[in-house]
Amino acid sequence: MTESSGAATRSVGRPRRTGTAGQDPRQEILDAASRLFVERGYAATTMTEVARAVGLGQSSMYYWFRSKEDLLKALASANRESLEVAERLAGSAVPAAVHLYAVLHADVRQMCGGTLDFYDLERVARAQPETFAEILDDYGRLRAAIEQIIGAGIASGEFAPMDPRLATVACLAQTEGVQHRFRTPTPDTADRPSALGDPSAAARLAARTAVRALLADPAQLADVERRGLAELVED
């Protein structure tokens, strides 16, 4: 087999058990893993189940992903929206409160629209820090960016005087807690439609609650929200 023919074979992946080849096996695997992680949870999903969902044999599955951790890394790395918003607006003329609202809104929207409960991802990442170094680094950069935004808002008088580090912890607890409840309703409301409705509703709840708690003048919240959402239009 020539080098060029080998490259062509790899581009469409190994044959399925049916003898046909998928159009994009790697993406099919990620889509199947995403569905199963949502339905069954990360811990309960096996590589065999993912392979079966896309009609691949075990050896073909490992051709694309060596482990379930590799699947998780690929899915988690696909969306860095909140960090990108934080870095895009850094150093701009956008007020700190507007900047923070946009970052928190983007963070919850991406977590609710993604594959995993953030708590599941964090648990796996912290248990295997070397494997998930990039994900942990992104989280650290986001946390540092939020702390810097809050510090700037305190200095400008937009936010009430407080410890920026503790305020950052409170903001992240708000966003992560809301996305968890978006995915996992409380037992007493499990038989009713979710109060959050959709990822945008969850994002608005988290961002409004967190930013309002920090504002020196809570009456400014409506204007902050309007401007924060406008900054997200291009995203």
Higher pLDDT, 96 or 138: 96
Residues 218 and 122 in one domain: yes
- Is position 13 within any domain? no
Residues 176 and 141 in one domain: yes
Instruction: Say whether pLDDT at 123 is over 90.
Output: no
The torsion of the CA quartet 132, 137, 143, 146, rounded to 10 degrees, works out to -130
Span 110-114, average pLDDT = 82
Instruction: Say whether pLDDT at 12 is over 50.
Output: no
Residues 100 and 191 in one domain: yes
Instruction: Say whether pLDDT at 11 is over 90.
Output: no
Span 87-97, average pLDDT = 94
Question: Distance between CA 200 and CA 2 in Å, rounded?
Answer: 51
Residues 136 and 189 in one domain: yes
Residues 41 and 126 in one domain: no
Question: Distance between CA 168 and CA 144 in Å, rounded?
Answer: 9
Instruction: Say whether pLDDT at 145 is over 90.
Output: yes
- pLDDT, tens digit, 9 for 90 and up, residues 164-180: 999 999 999 999 999 88
Looking at 32, 56, 75, the residue that finishes a domain is 75
User: Helix 133-156 to helix 96-113 angle, to the nearest 10 degrees?
Assistant: 150
Higher pLDDT, 7 or 31: 31
The pLDDT of residue 23 is 57
Contact at 8 Å (CB) between 142 and 83?
yes
Its domain, for residue 43, covers 20-75
Looking at 28, 46, 75, the residue that finishes a domain is 75
Which pLDDT band holds residue 3 (cuts at 50, 70, 90)? very low
Q: Return the CATH number at 44.
A: 1.10.10.60
- Is position 3 within any domain? no
Residues 206 and 106 in one domain: yes
Which pLDDT band holds residue 194 (cuts at 50, 70, 90)? low
- Is position 212 within any domain? yes
- pLDDT, tens digit, 9 for 90 and up, residues 42-62: 888 899 999 999 998 888 888
- Is position 114 within any domain? yes
Instruction: Say whether pLDDT at 225 is over 50.
Output: yes
Residues 182 and 121 in one domain: yes
Q: Which residue has the tokens 């007020």?
A: 95
pTM, entire model? 0.75
Write out the DSSP string of 64-127. H-SSHHHHHHHHHTT--HHHHHHHHHTTSSS-HHHHHHHHHHHHHHHHHHSSS-HHHHHHHHHH
Total count of domains within the chain: 2
Residues 63 and 171 in one domain: no
Residues 66 and 155 in one domain: no
Instruction: Say whether pLDDT at 143 is over 70.
Output: yes
Residues 152 and 204 in one domain: yes
Residues 95 and 45 in one domain: no
Q: Return the CATH number at 161.
A: 1.10.357.10
The pLDDT of residue 48 is 92
Looking at 75, 102, 117, the residue that finishes a domain is 75
- pLDDT, tens digit, 9 for 90 and up, residues 203-222: 999 999 999 999 999 999 99
- Distance (Å) of CA 228 to CA 3, 84, 151, 175, 194: 52, 15, 18, 16, 25
Residues 156 and 101 in one domain: yes
